[in-house]
């Protein structure tokens, strides 16, 4: 690395640290040498173009609701004078034309939050909140609130201090008409190894896990999750133990399966070979009868010039518990902190990738992928 490039990298990291405050995961930007492998897998990728819509961002949330694709908040640094933590809501029926439901949601600037749909209602859960308009300390930390909406514009605070406690970068899914919240972190260093559930977003109960099951689940945040039937699958993520080099790297690659009926957790198989690096801030979706696992950031959160193995694409057959390398590359380039959904815009179900952080910074693009017959 030449001297000029070295100085520019240092300045970039310092600037991101200052601008993002307590949210330290913004301090490890990708490098333009990441993800050089071209995508050559089973999916056909297309980039959609739109001129009017949500601004570039990452660590946002998205969901599918009422026949539309939705985007909520996130971190979208533009310049030093801009409001970087976003509280806007957008929706689209085709991924190209977007409508702004609100630019000032009452949950204020939010990153690392989750949004799920239960009983025809959207629920926004937790996250790291910052109200940059007044710098109110009450909305400048990890949150334990839950908000509901049926239109994206009008929001009701269902729980101001839910029993699961302050957290961000957790996972939230719906299985059998029940919301499950898994893991996450708070205050920069505390990681959760718990699971909570709710039938209404207001009343929460911690799932009773044995010591052995909790040890299998392990503390983690910014992991990938996907569901099939009664099962929730959990892959990778950040963990305090990994930062201390206490987690076996091979073991951390193994996907975990939580049985929502019996409340048990078990280790399943892992991606093999050198093309898979332990990653976080990635996504996994259930599509075409299997899981697709996409790109992420280095789970050790170290700045590096060699990140090809964090941008490979993998498939997981949950019926046979087997992994396959789909491609050593990524169909949308190097990226983490994006969202992924399976959505039908009228021409069949596709995988949708929205925004994220790449070597050029935050993104405002939309990509689709499908398996063509």
Is it the case that residue 231 has pLDDT exceeding 50? yes
Q: Token match 């533009």: residue? A: 78
CA atoms within 13 A on the CB side of 349: 9
Q: Lowest-confidence range among 139-148, 168-177, 241-250? A: 241-250
CA distance 255 to 317: 12
The pLDDT of 139-153, averaged and rounded, is: 92
The Cα 362–Cα 331 span in angstroms is: 17
- What is the Cα 171 distance to its own chain's centre? 8
- CA–CA distance, 367 with 346 (Å, rounded to integer): 16
Query: β-strands 256-259, 284-287: how paired?
Result: unpaired
Quote the radius of gyration of the chain (alpha carbons, Å): 19
Q: Whole-model pTM?
A: 0.89
- State the SS3 of the chain: CCHHHHHHHHHHHHHHHHHHCCCHHHHCCCCCCCCCCCCCCCCEEEEECCCCCCCCEECCEEEEECCEEEEEEEECCCCCCCCCEEEEEEEECCCCCEEEEECCCCCCEEECCEEEEECCEEEEEEEEEECCCCCCHHHEEEEEEEEEECCCCCCEEEECCCCCCCCECCEEEEECCEEEEECCEECCCEECCCEEEECCCCCCEECCCCHHHHHHHCCCECCEEEEECCEEEEECCECHHHHCCCCCHHHHCCCEEEECCCCEEEECCCCCCCCCCCEECCCEEEECCEEEECCCEECCCCCCCCCHHHCCEEEEECCCCEEEEEECCCCCCCCECCEEEEEECCCCEEEEEEEEEECCEEEEEEEEEECCC
Summarised one tens digit per residue, pLDDT across range 102-142 is 999 999 999 999 999 999 999 999 999 997 665 555 556 89
Whole-number Å distance between alpha carbons of 339 and 118: 19
pLDDT digits (tens, 9 = 90+) for 60-91: 999 999 999 999 999 997 655 566 899 999 99
Helix/strand/coil (H/E/C) assignment for every residue in 197-211: EECCCCCCEECCCCH
CA atoms within 13 A on the CB side of 79: 1
CATH numbers and ranges of domains, the chain: 3-370 (2.120.10.80)
346's tokens: 């009228």
Q: Which tokens belong to 314? A: 């993998």
| In contact, 236 and 249? CB cutoff 8 Å | no
pLDDT at position 241: 77
Average pLDDT of the segment spanning 19-23: 47
**CA atoms of 294 and 315, how far apart (whole Å):** 9
Q: Could you give the percent of the chain with pLDDT greater than 90?
A: 71
Question: What pLDDT, on the 0 to 100 scale, is given for residue 301?
Answer: 63
């Amino acid at each position: 690395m030449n001297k000029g490039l070295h100085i520019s990298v240092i300045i970039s990291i310092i600037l991101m640290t200052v601008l993002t405050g307590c949210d330290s995961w913004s301090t490890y930007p990708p490098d333009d040498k990441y993800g050089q492998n071209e995508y050559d897998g089973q999916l056909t990728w297309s980039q959609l173009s739109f001129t009017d819509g949500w601004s570039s961002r990452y660590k946002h949330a998205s969901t599918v609701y009422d026949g539309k694709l939705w985007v909520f908040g996130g971190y979208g640094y533009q310049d030093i004078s801009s409001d970087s933590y976003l509280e806007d809501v957008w929706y689209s029926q085709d991924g190209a034309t977007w409508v702004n439901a609100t630019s000032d949601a009452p949950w204020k600037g939010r990153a690392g939050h989750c949004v799920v749909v239960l009983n025809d209602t959207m629920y926004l859960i937790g996250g790291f909140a910052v109200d940059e308009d007044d710098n109110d300390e009450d909305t400048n930390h990890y949150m334990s609130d839950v908000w509901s909406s049926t239109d994206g514009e009008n929001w009701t605070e269902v729980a101001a201090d839910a029993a699961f406690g302050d957290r961000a970068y957790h996972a939230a899914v719906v299985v059998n008409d029940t919301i499950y919240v898994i893991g996450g972190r708070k205050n920069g260093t505390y990681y959760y190894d718990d699971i909570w559930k709710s039938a209404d977003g207001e009343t929460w109960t911690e799932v009773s896990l044995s010591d052995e099951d909790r040890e299998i689940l392990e503390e983690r945040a910014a992991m990938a999750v996907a569901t099939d039937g009664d099962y929730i699958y959990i892959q990778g993520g950040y963990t305090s133990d990994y930062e201390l080099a206490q987690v076996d790297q091979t073991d951390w690659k193994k996907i975990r399966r939580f049985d929502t009926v019996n409340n048990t957790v078990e280790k399943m198989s892992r991606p093999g070979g050198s093309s898979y690096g332990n990653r976080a801030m990635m996504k996994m979706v259930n599509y075409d009868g299997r899981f697709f696992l996409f790109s992420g950031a280095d789970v050790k959160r170290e700045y590096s010039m060699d990140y090809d193995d964090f941008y490979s694409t993998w498939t997981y057959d949950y019926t046979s518990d087997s992994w396959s390398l789909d491609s050593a590359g990524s169909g949308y380039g190097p990226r983490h902190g994006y969202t992924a959904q399976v959505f039908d815009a009228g021409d069949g179900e596709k995988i949708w990738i929205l925004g994220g952080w790449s070597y050029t910074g935050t993104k405002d693009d939309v990509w689709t992928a499908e398996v063509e017959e």
